[in-house]
Structure 1
């Protein structure tokens, strides 16, 4: 991850203003879902990924720094995390969490270290 977890890395291919909603999301070891929401605001960029039935409809908040590559032709966002890391990540509730700075710092810490998250388990 980059120094600021809420910013895209310079080599990801991210183009400000690109609507990523509905794009396929790939972890390092396979498909995890689709982008449900996103922000490309400076120092506040993130993806909300709907994992669908893969982990029972869980949505996860991924800081922009977890993005390793955006394929504009294939409409695919590649994440530098495994399925297990994403599965073990904190659950996201947009009505509670988008404005909650403490939650966002905990999210950033989870992805900086690979866990643990309060109430969750550390990825294997």
Structure 2
């Protein structure tokens, strides 16, 4: 896991410059959707995951630090999040939330308090 919520960990196998659009996304306990959009920017890396019919077409923003493994062979991204944690995440609206710092802090808080990054330190 990385020290910064909006950065990929070096252990994830993520390679900057690879187009992840359309890749399958797996939570720790099952399939949650596919990558609709992503960023490799330093300290601003994320995935926008389209959950499709799983939770009524909701898109969610996933900080890059939640990525545990990028499977280049099977075009699959594995997360350190459960299906429920993703389902409970605030809905993402691209036009409204992409540059919204308050929304980013809300996402950070959501995963700090309900995610694998909790545990009293508050650091993702």
Q: How many residues are aligned here?
A: 115
Please give the alpha-carbon distance, in whole angstroms, between the structure 2 residues aligned to 1:48 and 1:40. Answer: 12
TM-score (norm 1): 0.90
Equivalence for 1:63: 63
For 1:89, what is the secondary structure of its paired residue? coil
CA RMSD of aligned residues (A): 1.0
Deviation at 1:113? 1.6
1:1-124 correspondence runs (5 A): 1-114=1-114
Point out 4+ residue stretches in structure 1 off by more than 2 angstroms: none
TM-score, normalization by structure 2: 0.90
Secondary structure, counterpart of 2:57 in structure 1? coil
- Deviation readout 1:56-82 (Å, 9 max, x if unpaired): 000000000010000000000001111
**What's the CA shift for 1:84?**
0.6
Q: Distance in 2 between matches of 1:2 and 1:103?
A: 21
Structure 1: runs of 5+ lacking an equivalent: 116-124
2:118 equivalent in structure 1: none
